[in-house]
Amino acid sequence: MAGQQQAMTSRTPQPAHNVVTIVGPVNFPSLTWTQDLTLAKAIVDAGYDSPVDPKQIMIVRNGQAVPVDPKSLLTGQDFPLLPGDMIVLQQ
C-alpha cells in the first residue's frame, strides 16, 4: 500500500513554483523566474508578438490582479516579479 501511495504521489504534477506565466500574444508563455526578472524583461523574454502595444497589463499574484499602466513601462517604471506570478496582456 505504501508503495502505491508513493507511486501516485510521484505522478501528481507539482506546481511550477519558479515559473512566471504570460497570457497574451507571446511566443514563450512560460518563463523561469529569476531574482532579477521584471515585468518589462518578462514581456521581452516571452517574445511579445503583436504589432500593437497592449492596452492593459495585469499582474496576477496570489489570486489578486494588479493593473499596470502600459505607458508606465514606456517611461521607465518597472515592476519586480515573484515566482508564480501571471502576466495578462490584453489588446
CATH code where residue 85 lies: 3.10.560.10
- Provide the number of structural domains found in the chain: 1
Say if residues 23 and 89 touch (Cβ distance below 8 Å).
yes
pLDDT in tens, 22-44: 999 999 999 999 999 999 999 99
Q: Is residue 4 part of a domain?
A: no
Cα angle 59, 63, 13; round to 5: 100
Mean of pLDDT over the chain: 86
Average pLDDT over residues 42-65: 95
Range of the domain at 80: 15-90
Please state the pTM of the whole predicted model.
0.79
